Structure 1
Amino acid sequence: MKKFTINYLVVFLAGIFALSSCGGLDKMKKAADQVKYEASPKVLELKGNTVDVSFKVSFPAKFFNKKAILEMTPVLVYNGQELPLDKGIVQGEKVEGNNKAIKYLEGGSYNWAAKPFEFKDEMRVSQVVIRPSVYIAGKEAAKLALPPVKVADGIIATQKLVKIDAKPITMEDKFVRTTSDKYESQILYVINRSDVRTSEIKKPEVVGLEKYIAATKNDPNKQLKGIDILAYASPDGPMDLNDRLSKARQKSASEFLQKELKKAKISEADKKELWSLMATPEDWEGFKALMEKSDIKDKELVLRVLSMYSDPNVREKEIKNMAKTFEEIAQKILPQLRRSRMIAKVDVVGRSDEEIMSTFKTNPSALSLEELLYAGGKLTNDLATKQAIYEKTIELFPNCFRAHNNLGCVYLWQNKLDLAQKEFEAAQALKETDQTKSNLGYVALLKGDYAKAENLFTSVARNVEVANYGLGIINITKGDYETAIKFLGNTPEFNTALAKAL
């Protein structure tokens, strides 16, 4: 009898416990609408390639069963699919566990953050729902689902509008259409004389000067711009004598050349503005230059005299005091200073734009490197033509890093990324430049290797504006819009406006 009574009591108490437990959970279910769930942000936003979201839940007083455990599972619902996020777990104050305890009489709150999740395009239209479930500790199998609560919408992915475009840097040509040329010869004179000797005017260099000037007459691409006559006397002898000698030599040289030009029917011979005449009584500069090149034994001593004294009389005296040295100077140096230099200056006009392009089609090897680079860079906007020009330039001038770089730019504009990278690397192997670093950065950017692109852009010391544009794009994709704006500045670009809007 006693045993029967004890068993009956155990069963009775267990039933009471079960009923009280279920009743407590049902109470939580009925009062579930008093629980406040929040998500931050309320509208999810893509930053970089991931989305961050955190949650907060607030419980009212006399809500939380002292022996209950509540699991709150956020779920991203999108396009017929679901992505469960990291759950939050809290427990009643009489549960032994490591979760945060919520007191029955006071209520409380709990915060947790979900691990950032990877974004997919189909997630643009989505929502986050928290699905809570509760159970008595130790009886997880009897878990009771509470009403789900929507806490956020998603996903703002405006940064996906970023325009991944390249701004390659081409390298400039050094083409100059009109170049200056000159031809120089000189007439030497006997000591203390100013007459032009027949032996002098028959020298190849003097005859060559006459032919050089005459050649401008029948060449439409050459124009005589000036003739300089620079006459000198050696720095020995009295100053007044040397002054007269240098002027007389200037006169004899200019008269000789004018006469020869008239014979050749060069009309510019009579134009006074074409002629520049100058006489130097004592040619100390020429003396110093010849001494430095000479093998005269005491030349260092003579050069020291020139550096120590500026007075020409003192210089001459000190040098003449070196008797043997002066004799050698008088034989080897001074005769070369008794002269008139005759210099013809000519402007050479290069090919016109039309002639350059025509020559490229018929005989490209006749063009200079700078003409080819000029043609590829400035005479056509057609990418196929640019490609052909730069390919021929590399064929003719394989070590031209500018041609490799510019061909790489053409390939980049054509979205031929592997070919572009090959040419940029060839250019960089020939000569490392910031332009090519930046261009390689854009290749990496277009290939989606943002880390490599960022390293290349940040290594650029010059042309930073173009590299900064690439860094601005990268920071938009990271969701770091403030940094993106710093790099983009006020450039009139879509990506600049996008970064500021974000």
Structure 2
Amino acid sequence: MKRKLIYESLAILLFISFLGVSCSSLKPLKQSNFAVTPSPLETVGNKIPVTVNGIFPEKWFNANATVSITPVLKYAENKESESTAYTFQGEKVAGNATVIPKDRGGNFTMIFSFPYQPEMNVSELFVRFDAKIKNKPVKLPEIKVANGVIATSTLASALSTKPSVADDGFQKIIKQTQDANILFLIQNAALRQSELNKEGLAAWKKRVEEAYKDPKQNIYIEVSAYASPDGGVSLNEKLAAEREKNTTEYLEKELKKKNIDTEVNAHYTAEDWEGFRQLVQASDLQDKDLILRVLEMYPDPETREQEIKNISFVYEELAETILPQLRRSRLIANIEIIGKTDEEIMSFWENDPQKLSVEELLYATTLTDDPAQKERIYQYVTVNFPQDYRGWNNIGTLFYERGEISKAQQAFQRAIQVAPDAPEANMNMALIALLNNENDKAEELLGKASQAKDIDGALGLLYLKNGDYNKAVAAFGNTKSNNAALAQLLIKDYSRASETLVNITNPDATTAYLQAVIAARTNKYAEVLSNLQTAIIRDKSMAKRAANDLEFAKYHTDRDFIALTKQ
């Protein structure tokens, strides 16, 4: 009897112990214990950033429990992507995890992201539990906390971004200037034979004659006579005028001998202080900085002259080296060389390309809309001017626009080998990097491309892919492109985005698809259907995208929408 009572007591104690353990076991949490932002999920660049705010209810967390929560995105057929687990522990557990008091419970936040893949558009976000109490596993069911991914930001495309073409240096009119000086003795306006016989003056007259006789050159002649700043202003005024008169008369006689009938524009400057400053600045005078300060401090010519003369040890050197060069008449031949006409350039290209310069060849590509013709010209440039990076870069842009990315990359790399700092080639290599989602590499390359033409599109795309939409909008400026409109859409500036899309020169399927997204966000049902129809006509794959796109979630049961996207 006594033994029976002992057994009964032990049974009661075991039952009470069982009740105690079962009451302290972890119970399944509910979906309402979790709030997901954003919901549905949404891509930022090429990632899916998620914030989950959760709550452990009062009395839920066992003091001896450890609970790890892992976010899991399930998609396609049996595919899933796990993010980093967050671990929590009870008050009696020795560890470094976040402690959750049993009596009060607690709130928690998990911030994580998934690398985006197109299959994730149709997906479900779960939280998965790994729990134990005193090293004994406790099974908790996983909980679905969000549906699907809005992937509108992934419509950003490097392929639709315009690559940078290096400009030609062709000028229809090339301006040249040829100078010659005739020097005079101090306080004298007479022309000296020694000056008139100088080689420089002979070369100047020869160049004038060549220009005048060439029907593709125009010439304008100018005479500027000067007196040096030493001496009184009235004396220098008279002296400079006489030098101008004597030089002009001499020049007109010389031009007449060669039957050159062109006007000579003559003028004089009484005291050539500007010429004085330039010569002093370029000299190796010991105290030139002191002289330059005097010029700045004293605007009055007579005061200037006196102050400079007061520096006696400097003035002697000035009188020997600087002032004699200012007693002169300057002969200036302004020449305009008229380049080949567009017709001449294309005729030479077709019949005798060797007579074209590299600048003329590169310019020739702007005279045709035929990509094959452009490619032939660039090929010719790369063969005959292999050290000019522009031929390699520009042929690469043709490959890029045709979608021949491997060939484009090889051409851009060759351009960089020839000219490592070529801004256009570096920008185009940045586009290749963005195409491969190598954003850091693209940013480095764009740092070398600040002077590249059309860099706004590449910079805007980089900011788009980094999820910095406001910077993207600023970088695009007034660019009319799908990417620019997408950036405006993502900051919810729907009016501006619509205007951008309407003004795109060559709209494509993405253009119409973005217009449909804007229509859906602004509740314009008819425009949703009409724009989607246009997008699908241009690219049939848009039907499948729209059918699964949560941008159009409220239309997924609409009969007309289903009929349109069921292709």
Output the TM-score relative to the length of structure 1.
0.62
Q: Please state how far the C-alpha of 1:395 moved relative to its aligned partner.
A: 3.5
- Change in Cα spacing, 1:107 to 1:360, as seen in structure 2 (3 Å) is same
- Does the residue aligned with 2:387 lie in a helix, a strand or coil? coil
Q: Does the 8 Å contact 1:64/1:107 carry over to 2?
A: no
Contact 2:121/2:149, CA 8 A, preserved across alignment: yes
Match in the other structure for 2:516 = none
Q: Which amino acid aligns with 1:496?
A: A
1:89 is displaced (CA, Å) by: 6.6
Q: 1:419 aligns with which of 410, 421, 424?
A: 410
User: Partner residue of 2:300?
Assistant: none
Q: 3-state DSSP class of the match of 2:377?
A: helix
Check 1:123–1:171 CA distance in 2 against 1; reply closer, same or farther (3 A cut): closer
16, 21, 38: which one aligns with 2:34 = 38
Indicate which of 175, 178, 192 corresponds to 2:173: 178
Amino acid paired to 1:357: M
- Identify the residue that residue 528 of structure 2 maps to in structure 1: none
State the Cα RMSD in Å: 6.4
User: How far did 1:469 drift?
Assistant: 4.4
Is 2:416 the counterpart of 1:428? no
Q: CA–CA distance in 2 between the matches of 1:53 and 1:465?
A: 40
- Residue equivalent to 2:387: 399
CA distance in 2, matches of 1:67, 1:227: 99
Q: Does 1:389 align with 2:377?
A: yes
Contact 1:250 1:277 in 2 (8 A): no
Corresponding position: 1:108 with 2:105: yes
Q: Among the aligned pairs, what percent are the same residue?
A: 27
CA contact (8 A) 2:124 2:147 kept: yes
For 1:446, the aligned partner's letter is: L
Q: How far has the Cα of 1:129 moved from its partner?
A: 3.8
* 1:126 paired residue among 119, 123, 126: 123
**CA 1:119 to 1:132, structure 2 compared with 1: closer, same or farther past 3 Å?**
same
**Residue correspondence of structure 1 range 160-199 to structure 2 within 5 A:** 160-165=154-159, 166-179=161-174
- 2:485 corresponds to which letter in structure 1? F
SS at match of 1:52: strand
Q: 1:425 to 1:112 in 2, by over 3 A?
A: same
Distance 1:140 1:17, change over 3 A: farther
Amino acid at match of 1:373: L
Query: Does the 8 A contact of 1:405 with 1:427 survive in 2?
Result: no
Measure, in 2, the Cα distance between the counterparts of 1:129 and 1:112: 15
SS at match of 1:12: helix
Report the residue type matching 1:37 in the other structure. Answer: N
Q: Which among 461, 482, 491 is matched to residue 473 of structure 1?
A: 461
Question: In the superposition, relative to structure 1, how do residues 466 and 360 fare at CA in structure 2: closer, same or farther (>3 Å)?
Answer: closer
Amino acid across the alignment from 1:9: E
The residue type paired with residue 422 of structure 1 is: Q
1:275-310 per-residue CA deviation (whole Å, 9 max, x = no partner) reads 457899xxxxxxxxxxxxxxxxxxxxxxxxxxxxx9
Amino acid at match of 1:59: P
1:150 alignment partner AA: K
Paired AA for residue 44 in structure 1: L
TM-score (norm. length: structure 2): 0.56
Partner residue, 2:428: 439
List gaps (5 residues or longer) in structure 1. Answer: 188-193, 231-238, 281-309, 312-338
How far, CA to CA, are the matches of 1:403 and 1:450 in structure 2? 27
Structure number with greater Rg is 1
Separation in structure 2 between the aligned mates of residue 134 and residue 208 of structure 1, nearest angstrom: 96
Q: What is the one-letter code of the residue matched to 2:168? A: D
Residue type of the partner of 2:170?
F
State which of 141, 145, 153 in structure 1 corresponds to 2:147.
Answer: 153
Cα distance change of structure 1 residues 6 and 413 upon mapping to structure 2, 3 Å threshold: same
Is structure 2 residue 491 aligned with structure 1 residue 500? yes
CA distance in 2, matches of 1:137, 1:489: 61
- Whose RCO is larger (CA < 8 A, sep 6+)? 1
Distance 2:241 2:128 in 1: 113
Corresponding residue of 2:342: 353
Larger CA deviation: 94-103 vs 360-369: 94-103
Separation (CA, whole Å) in 2 of partners of 1:248 and 1:130: 97
Separation in 1, partners of 2:332, 2:70:
93
Q: Where does 1:61-460 land on structure 2 (aligned, <5 Å)?
A: 75-81=72-78, 83=80, 85=82, 100=99, 102-103=101-102, 106=103, 108-111=105-108, 113=110, 116-130=113-127, 140=137, 143=139, 149-165=143-159, 166-179=161-174, 220-223=215-218, 225=220, 253=250, 260=257, 268=261, 274-276=263-265, 347-376=336-365, 378-414=366-402, 415=405, 416-429=407-420, 432-457=421-446, 459-460=447-448
Deviation at 1:118, TM superposition (A): 3.0
2:73 touches 2:126 (CA, 8 Å); kept in 1? yes
Q: 1:216 to 1:136 in 2, by over 3 A?
A: closer
Describe the SS at the equivalent of 1:445: helix
Partner secondary structure for residue 76 of structure 1 = strand
- After superposition, the Cα gap between the structure-2 partners of 1:169 and 1:130, relative to the gap in structure 1 and judged at 3 Å, is closer
* SS of alignment partner, residue 158 of structure 2: coil
| Cα separation, partners in 2 of 1:124 and 1:10, compared to 1, 3 Å | farther
How far, CA to CA, are the matches of 1:50 and 1:20 in structure 2? Answer: 44
Preserved CA contact (<8 Å) 2:164 2:452: no
